[in-house]
Amino acid sequence: MDDLIKAIHTTPIIDNHAHPLLTPATQSKYPLLSITTEAHGDAMRATTSSLSHIRAVNQLSYVLGCPPTWEDVVKAIDIEKAKPHHVWQRRCLEGIETILVDDGLDGGDEVYDYSWHDKLVRSECKRIVRIEKLAEEIIDALLKQPDIEPEDVFGALRDAFEIAIQTAIDDPEVVGFKSVICYRTGLDILPLVSSSAVRDSFVDYIAGLQDAGVTEFKRVDGMPLNSYLVNKAAQLISLSPKHKKPLQFHTGLGDNDITLTRSSPSHLQGFIRRYPTVPIVLLHASYPWTKEAGYLASVYENVYADIGEVFPFVSREGQEKVVREILELCPTEKILWSTDGHWFPETYLLAVVQVREALEVVLTDYVQSETLTVAQAVRAIEDIFFKTSNDLYNLHIPFKPLVNSTIPLPVRSATRTDEDALTSFLNEYTSTKFIRLQYLDYTSTPRVRIIPVKKALSILDNSPHLSIGITKASLGLLQNDIIIPAASAIGEYRLQADLSSLRPGPYEGYAFVQGEFHESDGSIADLCPRSLLRRTLVEAESQNLEFLVGFEIEIVFMSRSEDGALQPLSNSGGHAWSSNRALHGNKMLDMLHQIYDSLAVSGIYLEQWHPEAALGQYEFVLPPLPPLQAADALLHAREIVNTVVAGYSMRATLYPKPFSDMAGTASHIHISISSPDGDKKGVYESFYAGILKHLQAIIAFTYSSPSSYDRMADSCWAGGRWVAWGTQNRETALRKIEDSHFEIKVVDGLANVYFALAAIIAAGTQGVKDKLDLILGDCLKDPAQLSDDEKKTLGVKDMLPKDLESALQALEEDGELTKLMGKDLVVRYIKVKKAEIDLLNGMRAPDRKHWIMERY
């Protein structure tokens, strides 16, 4: 089932029918309320009480991080729209591969050109030519000619229309045609109408307009000409020797300009039979005539059913019913989907969020009832979202699943409720009794609240989210629970579980889940570490950057003496890097096997593991995942390792330098830019340049403890002491492995992983945004061994901070990184770290080491 849900949320969408976005100058002409209704004028006043509007407000408020009221949503959207580089528009269109744009709805001066939308999606957008709009523009131009006779208008229209349709057939930017005859005469299209019959009716109409002094023609309406134009377009398409471009028809619901009883696609049956080689697409789920659309698509080879527009205009239950009804008869390879997005980017966002929700509900039901296998349901998703449109419109777009979404959390919470997610999990892991709701504080101390499953379900009976109250002091505590002066025990956050991170373990009967801090009004807390990483990924997505992240867990196993003191692992003589000797002994192998098995139960499958250089030191390589999921998996994996090791009367520690004369312990981060242009030199080198520009400040997050700097040394594979990078150079802070795949060496296990990843990705993203040049050269030797001339040639001149105090000072002085991370968050972080320094400075060195090792 997880494979199906993953496919639903990672399959890219070819939006086979939508309309352009409004330009900023014209947005005020149209009401934002229209995003969930076809009503106009006074009828729109009641929209706010509709299920579609109420649902849209809740979903938008979640994505925007604002209170769930229409007024707050409008304010938040205005703030987003003011941001540069179309960040909000990109976010709203996330997950859409390309848009096939019907640009015949509005005047060209009100909306962006179809190709402008290329910057918001992964593949170039294409045009859908609206037949009636084409004819109207021709007639309007003819009427503006002085002294033209009505008969001449028709003759010129007939010739110009045929030329225009043929030109569109030959134009590679045009992938299809559309008719709105449903609005004009209804879908009972007249059979082949003779030119003379059309001419007589049309000439009288034009003569009447000229007599009235009308020189601007706007609408072909209610005359034989409507049927003539559609038939003529279908004839020309059928005669095309190349790939035949589809002809879309508006069917079903629309604004009050439509006659609903004449909008059923069943009226098109005669037309469909007349043109058996013309692909015909029935748009908008033909709602409420969805079953009729499914029937026609199932019995006519040239008919396809689109199930768009009902998202978000119809209630959740109605949308699920539409999906079920279309699947009653229609093969999935004859179904395609569209947003019918128009004017406002929010129409796209809501449509995408809601269709994923509906498909998740319906298809998981079909799998559970054994109507479909998981593989068959996944194929249905790929057909509906991508493959059918890709083939039908001859787009030739390679299928590339979405690697990293910036709206995974909002989409999940909007489409699959917390109660659904928890119930599904409990059905699979029936022995679960307790939920460990976890968070990582500013000292990188993992903290937890245990919630019995019965209580968790009770909370979800009365709330959409699994959350508990927690003091605001929780983001201002030191490891010994002392509150720093800048924090206060007054006030309360809501610690909210992100159930997409829910995993079994680390003990039988337990499951753990990562939490995020929210204010009492539901908005995300500015100081929340995990939310910071998520926000950073949103900004990266605006620059078309997606990532895969893999962590190496280096950890030292220590024994305990009879009095409980930590000491080097017993029976570890001969332990060395990648040494077979370190894997001898049943106890050690049993423990390692149990670690692997426990991680696998939790869905974390190790890539490899091996002994490291220090006594009792081992490295576990985690699989690559999108950044947020990778960070969660790291924390879960560490907890499992700690738990298993404790069962063998040992202690696992992340302390950076357990033994002064042996290798230190790191937590290396592998990052690759997985977005389509990630391997372009201009992209990844600018990303590197951004990291290196801010590396001295980033160190405050990656080497976050005074003890971290015991590990910072040259010539020991630890990343060294210099701001430098090198291809396959383990002595540089940034090791380039291959193109956009690199490793950050200067990070240890005491770092808050959300802060560290956010700082690295934010700095790199800013580098891409600013198109920074990679000034530093590729260092192919130990930077500490470079001569002065070699350093000058490579641009290696800056050293990393020598201690935490220096790193915090570098962070304070780096205004750009502070802005990227959030000023309030950085200020709080620095205050916590300075208080931590004061606390540790009051201890003797041996006591301090033991104190830290017991906590990390």
Quote the CA–CA distance of 460 and 451 in Å, as a whole number.
12
Answer whether CATH 2.60.120.10 is correct for domain 526-546+676-845. no
Task: Using alpha carbons, select from 732, 765, 34 the residue that is nearest to residue 344.
Answer: 34
pLDDT (tens digit per residue) in 213-247: 777 787 888 678 889 899 999 999 999 998 999 99
724 sits in which H/E element:
none
DSSP string across 793-843: HHT--PBPPSSHHHHHHHHHH-HHHHHHH-HHHHHHHHHHHHHHHHHHHTS
Q: What percent of the chain has pLDDT over 70?
A: 97
Instruction: Read off the pLDDT band of 259 (50, 70, 90).
Output: confident
Q: Do residues 497 and 465 touch, judged by C-beta distance below 8 A?
A: yes
**pLDDT confidence of residue 239:** 94
| Confidence class for position 412, pLDDT limits 50, 70, 90 | very low
| Predicted local distance difference test score (pLDDT) of residue 394 | 95
CATH superfamily of the 548-674 domain: Glutamine synthetase/guanido kinase, catalytic domain (3.30.590.10)
Q: Is 309 left (phi over 0), alpha (psi -120 to 50) or beta?
A: left
Q: What is the 3-state secondary structure (H, E, C) of 131-145?
A: HHHHHHHHHHHHHCC
Sequential DSSP letters for 272-341: HHH-TTS-EEE-GGGTT-HHHHHHHHHH-TTEEEE--SHHHHS-HHHHHHHHHHHHHH--GGGEE-----
Give yes or no for a contact between 842 and 482, defined as CB atoms under 8 angstroms apart.
no
Asked if 666 and 618 count as a contact pair (C-beta separation under 8 A), the reply is no
- Over residues 739-752, the pLDDT tens digits come to 889 999 899 999 99
Nearest to 443 by CA among 404, 479, 485: 479
Beta-carbon contacts of residue 230 (< 8 Å; ≥ 6 apart): 131, 179, 181, 189, 271
- What is the average pLDDT value for the chain, to the nearest integer? 88
Alpha helix ranges (H) inside 664-782: 681-702, 753-769
Per-residue model confidence as pLDDT tens digits over 193-205: 777 778 888 888 8
Instruction: Judge contact between 285 and 323, C-beta under 8 A.
Output: no
pLDDT at 415: 43
Report whether 187 contacts 111 (CB < 8 A).
Answer: no
pLDDT of the residue at 416: 56
CA distance 624 to 808: 30
Q: State the pLDDT confidence band at 272, using cuts at 50, 70 and 90.
A: very high
Distance CA 345, CA 20 (A): 9
Q: Amino acid identity of 528? A: C
Residue 459 has pLDDT above 60, yes or no: yes
Residue-wise pLDDT for 768-825, tens only, equals 999 999 999 999 999 899 999 999 999 999 999 999 999 999 999 999 999 999 999 9
Backbone Cα Rg of the chain = 31
Model pLDDT, residue 807:
95
- Maximum distance among all Cα pairs of the chain, rounded to whole angstroms: 110
Angle between helices 195-211 and 224-239 (to 10 degrees): 130
Cα dist from 437 to 189, 429, 450, 458, whole Å: 61, 17, 6, 15
pLDDT of the residue at 409: 37
Domain ranges of the chain: 2-410, 417-524, 526-546+676-845, 548-674
Least confident of 136-150, 321-335, 412-426: 412-426
Tokens 């001339």 identify what position?
A: 789
Right CATH for 417-524 from 3.40.50.1860, 3.40.50.12780, 3.10.20.70, 3.40.50.700: 3.10.20.70
Contact 254, 181 (CB under 8 A): no
Q: Work out the percent of the chain whose per-residue pLDDT is above 90.
A: 48
Half-sphere exposure (Cβ direction) of 473: Cα atoms closer than 13 Å: 13
Question: Is 251:282 a contact under the CB 8 Å cutoff?
Answer: yes
CB 175 within 8 A of CB 394: yes
pLDDT at position 305 over 80: yes
Q: How many residues make up the chain in this entry?
A: 856
Nearest CA to 103 out of 34, 23, 187 is that of 23
**CATH topology agreement for domains 526-546+676-845 and 548-674:** yes
pLDDT band at 536 (very low <50, low <70, confident <90, very high): very high
Angle (nearest 5°) at CA 382 between 380 and 387? 115
Q: Please, are residues 165 and 171 in contact by the beta-carbon 8 Å criterion? A: no
The separation between CA 827 and the C-alpha centre of its own chain, rounded to angstroms, equals 29
Q: What is the pLDDT of residues 635-685, one digit of tens each?
A: 999 999 999 988 888 888 988 888 877 888 888 899 999 887 888 899 999
Query: Facing residues of 281 across strands?
Result: 248, 304
Note whether 616 and 575 are within 8 A (CB). yes
| Closest by CA position to 829, among listed 704, 744, 710 | 704
Q: How many CB atoms lie within 10 A of CB 836?
A: 21
Burial class (CB in 10 A: 0-12, 13-18, 19+), 113: middle
Q: 524 by DSSP, 3-state: which?
A: strand
Determine if the pTM surpasses 0.85: no
> How many C-beta atoms surround the C-beta of residue 608 within 10 A?
8
Structure confidence at residue 160 (pLDDT): 93
Residue closest to 268 by CA, chosen among 256, 284, 251, 254: 251
Distance (Å, rounded) from C-alpha 287 to C-alpha 293? 9
The residue that leads in pLDDT, 452 or 367, is: 452
CATH architecture of the domain covering 2-410 = Alpha-Beta Barrel (3.20)
> How distant, in Å, are the alpha carbons of 228, 320, 405, 517, 537 from that of 409?
50, 21, 9, 14, 12
- 485 CB-near residues (< 8 Å, 6+ apart): 831, 835
Give residue 279's pLDDT band: very low, low, confident or very high (50, 70, 90).
Answer: very high
Query: Is the pLDDT score of 408 beyond 70?
Result: no
DSSP 384: I
